[in-house]
C-alpha cells in the first residue's frame, strides 16, 4: 500500500454553462490503481476526464500530481511547457475513436515512436526496434510496422493507440470509452490486453465508461456520476453488488443478464 497518492483531486468543478459539467469531485488515486468513472451520457464524466487531465482549466478546485521531481504538486501552477512534458511522458490519453489519438497518415511504427522522439530519442534503429516490440506486445503482426493505421481494423487501431501511449512508460493513463466503438468480440481481446498491461506495468488508469462489465473486469474502484456529481464511490465489486444510491441501483439493475 502506498501512502502518497499519485493524483489527488479536491472540489474539482468545471461547467460549460454554469450547470453542465462536473461539480465538487473529490478522490485520491494511488499508483497502480484503476479507477472507473461510470454514468449515463451527459453525467459529466467526459468533462471530469478533461479537467483531470488539464485539457480544460477547471473553474474551481485542484488537481495535484505526484511529480517525479517535486512530489505532490498542484498542476494549476505548472508552466505550460512543463505541463506538456508531463502529459507526453508520464501520462497517456486513449481516446474513444482511435483516429482522434493516432496520426492516420504516418506508419504504425512512426505512431509508436513519436513520443520517444519528442523526448529526444533519435536513433532510428532503436526506435524501430522498440516500436516493433510494442506491436508484438499488442498482438499486431510485426509485418504491419510500415503500414498506415487507415489500413488497420478498428480493434488494431485501438491497440496501436494504446501502444503509442505506453511507449514512454507513463504512470497514469486517461481513457475515454476505449472499447465503446468496437465489436464485442474485439472488446474482449482489448480488455484482456489492458488488464495485463496495467498489472505488468503497474499503471494507474482513470477510465471513463458506461459499460459496467468493463468496470468489473478492470477497475479496483468505481466512481458513479449523475447530473455532474459523484453520487457514489467505492470498491468496484461493492458498488456493483451492493449499490447504495438510487441511481447506481437503477444502473446496476439495468444490466442484461448474459
Partner 1 sequence: MMQTNNQKLIEVRGLGKMFTLHNQGGIRLPVLRAIDFDASRGECLVLSGRSGTGKSTLLRCLYGNYLATEGTIRLRDTSEASEPWVELTNAPEQRVLKLRRDVIGYVSQFLRAIPRVSALDVVADPLQQRGASHEEARARAATLLERLNLPRRLWDLPPATFSGGEQQRVNIARGLIGGHPILLLDEPTASLDADNRAVVIELIREALAEGRSLIGIFHDEAVRDAVATRMLPLQPATALA
| Interface residues toward partner 1, by CB under 8 A | 1, 30, 188-189, 191-192, 195, 216-217, 220-221, 234-235, 237-238, 241-242, 244-246, 249-250, 253
Minimal distance, residue 33 CB to partner 1, in Å: 8
* Cβ atoms 45, 39 nearer than 8 A: yes
| Nearest distance in Å: CB 224, partner 1 | 13
**Closer CB to partner 1, 130 or 207, in the complex:** 207
Residue 175 near residue 206, CB atoms below 8 Å: yes
Min dist. Cβ of residue 174 to partner 1 (A): 20
Nearer to partner 1, 164 or 220 (CB): 220
Of 118 and 235, the one with the shorter C-beta distance to partner 1 is 235
Least distance CB 85 / partner 1 (angstroms): 29
CB nearer to partner 1: give 65 or 93: 65
The β-bridge relationship of strands 204-208 and 172-176 is parallel
Cβ-based neighbours of 213, under 8 Å, separated by 6 or more: 255
Measure the CA dihedral 12/17/21/27, to 10°.
10
**Do residues 34 and 220 make contact, with C-beta atoms less than 8 angstroms apart?**
yes
Amino acid at each position: 500500500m502506498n501512502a502518497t497518492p499519485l493524483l489527488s483531486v479536491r472540489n474539482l468543478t468545471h461547467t460549460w454553462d454554469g450547470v453542465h459539467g462536473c461539480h465538487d469531485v473529490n478522490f485520491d488515486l494511488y499508483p497502480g490503481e484503476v479507477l472507473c468513472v461510470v454514468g449515463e451520457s451527459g453525467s459529466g464524466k467526459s468533462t471530469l476526464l478533461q479537467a483531470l487531465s488539464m485539457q480544460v482549466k477547471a473553474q474551481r478546485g485542484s488537481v495535484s500530481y505526484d511529480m517525479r521531481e517535486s512530489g505532490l504538486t498542484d498542476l494549476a501552477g505548472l508552466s505550460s511547457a512543463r505541463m506538456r512534458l508531463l502529459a507526453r511522458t508520464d501520462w497517456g490519453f486513449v481516446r474513444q475513436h482511435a483516429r482522434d489519438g493516432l496520426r492516420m497518415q504516418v506508419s504504425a511504427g512512426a505512431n509508436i515512436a513519436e513520443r520517444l522522439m519528442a523526448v529526444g530519442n533519435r536513433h532510428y534503429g532503436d526506435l524501430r526496434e522498440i516500436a516493433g516490440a510494442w506491436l508484438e506486445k499488442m498482438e499486431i503482426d510485426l509485418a504491419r510496422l510500415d503500414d498506415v493505421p487507415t489500413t488497420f481494423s478498428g480493434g488494431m487501431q485501438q491497440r496501436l493507440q494504446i501502444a503509442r501511449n505506453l511507449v514512454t512508460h507513463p504512470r497514469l493513463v486517461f481513457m475515454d470509452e476505449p472499447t465503446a466503438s468496437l465489436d464485442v468480440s474485439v472488446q474482449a481481446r482489448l480488455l484482456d490486453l489492458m488488464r495485463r498491461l496495467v498489472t505488468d506495468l503497474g499503471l494507474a488508469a482513470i477510465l471513463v465508461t458506461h459499460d459496467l462489465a468493463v468496470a468489473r473486469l478492470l477497475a479496483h474502484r468505481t466512481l458513479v456520476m449523475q447530473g455532474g456529481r459523484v453520487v457514489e464511490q467505492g470498491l468496484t465489486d461493492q458498488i456493483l453488488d451492493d449499490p447504495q444510491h438510487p441511481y447506481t441501483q437503477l444502473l446496476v439493475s439495468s444490466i442484461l443478464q448474459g
